Amino acid sequence: MLTTAHIDRVVAAALDEDAPWGDLTSAYLLPADAVASAALVAREAGVFSGGEVFAAAFRLTDPAVQVRLHLDDGASFREGDTLATVSGPARSVLTAERIGLNFVQRMSGVATLTRRFVDEVTHTGARIADTRKTTPGLRALERHAVRSGGGHNHRFSLSDAVMAKDNHLAVLVASHPSLTPSAAITQSLQAAIARLPHTTHVEVEVDRLDQIDAVLAAGVDTIMLDNFTVDDLRRGVERVAGRATVEASGGVSLATVRAIAETGVDVIAVGALTHSAPALDLGLDMRVELADGS
């Protein structure tokens, strides 16, 4: 769902960062006519993501390198599986290797962690969603990786949905000293909704159960219950009673996500999907061919 233009722009910048003056090792050590093929091999099981980005790293280093992807993004693989094959001039293959791997390891790492969260909650109706805690410059790729893992995307940026958090509500309350806090929040939200694009989803974060009614009164689309205990999440779901989507956020881990999902919340936001996913261990195994074909 990403354009070629977007992928190429991000990958070209990464290559220039990693080889501003070229790759000394390849250029000085390897014969110019050595040809190599290489297999992208999984050193651990996981979920694949970033195939097109991996391929672009080689193409933008040297159009003479060919990449064939064996899996679609989103496919699972086991340790030892071959995910892609690369062939071309040995120098170019090795120059592009690390950047290709950096992207596909990171993206597959995000996809794989996402899948683990998703697998914990499939028996419930809850969806696992990402957050804006992404790597600067790579958000589109990381969001793609979350989808590869079966997760759902949350709003992409500050520009495509409203998310009013505690800090916003604090400003609202302070700015309307003549109103009760509840009234300040309800009235401000209503006024905003009247002016926002009609396509804008409005989500509001609450810290306590007793804030829910003021928010619901404004007609918001989603209520986010921030850092609630499992018991309070359950009470929150009951209180909302279907009048809005319910999102749980804060302190979600693989150890807690199942219990959270079983409270009946609709969405579970997990910042760790993108800000703390370990890169997946994928490697490039070379097979060298001599220039004379032997």
Part of the chain binding its own copies (CB under 8 A), chosen from 40-48, 78-86, 232-240, 278-286: 278-286
Q: Are 259 and 2 in contact (CB under 8 A)?
A: no
Please indicate whether residue 139 is annotated as part of the active site. Answer: no
Nearest distance from C-beta of residue 115 to its own copies, angstroms: 15
Contact between 177 and its own copies (CB under 8 A)? yes
Look at residue 22 and give its three-state secondary structure: strand
Q: Are 107 and 141 spatial neighbours (Cβ–Cβ below 8 Å)?
A: yes
Catalytic residue status for 8: no
Least distance CB 61 / its own copies (angstroms): 5
The residue count for binding its own copies (CB under 8 A) is 114
Contact 109, 117 (CB under 8 A): no
Alpha carbon distance 291, 132 (integer Å): 48
Distance CA 27, CA 33 (A): 11
Handedness of CA 139, 141, 144, 145 (dihedral sign): negative
Instruction: Identify which range of 80-88, 185-193, 230-238, 254-262 contacts its own copies by CB under 8 A.
Output: 185-193
Q: Is residue 183 within the footprint of its own copies (CB under 8 A)?
A: no
Q: Which of 164, 237, 248, 257 binds its own copies (CB under 8 A)?
A: 164
20 binds its own copies (CB under 8 A): yes
Using the rule CB under 8 A, give the single segment among 39-47, 116-124, 128-136, 232-240 that binds its own copies.
128-136
For residue 69 the two structure tokens come to: 């992807």
Among positions 66-105, residues that touch its own copies (CB under 8 A) are 90-91, 94-95, 97-99, 102-103, 105
Smallest gap, in angstroms, from Cβ of residue 239 to its own copies? 19
Residues whose CB falls within 8 Å of the CB of residue 33, separated by 6 or more in sequence, listed in order: 89, 291
- How far is the CA of 35 from the CAs of 39, 82, 213, in angstroms? 14, 20, 68
Positions in 130-149 near its own copies (CB under 8 A): 132-140, 143-144
Locate 158 and state its tokens.
């500050």
Least Cβ distance, residue 259 to its own copies (angstroms) = 21
Q: Is 211 in the site for its own copies (CB under 8 A)?
A: no
Q: Nearest distance from residue 114's CB to its own copies, in Å?
A: 14
* Site for its own copies contains 40 (CB under 8 A): no
**Which residue(s) pair with 205 in the sheet?**
224
| Residue 132 annotated to the active site | no
For this structure, is 133 an active site residue? yes
226 is catalytic: yes
User: How many Cα atoms sit within 13 Å of 214 on the Cβ side?
Assistant: 22
Cα distance between residue 88 and residue 83, in whole Å: 17
Active-site annotation, residues:
98, 133, 165, 205, 226
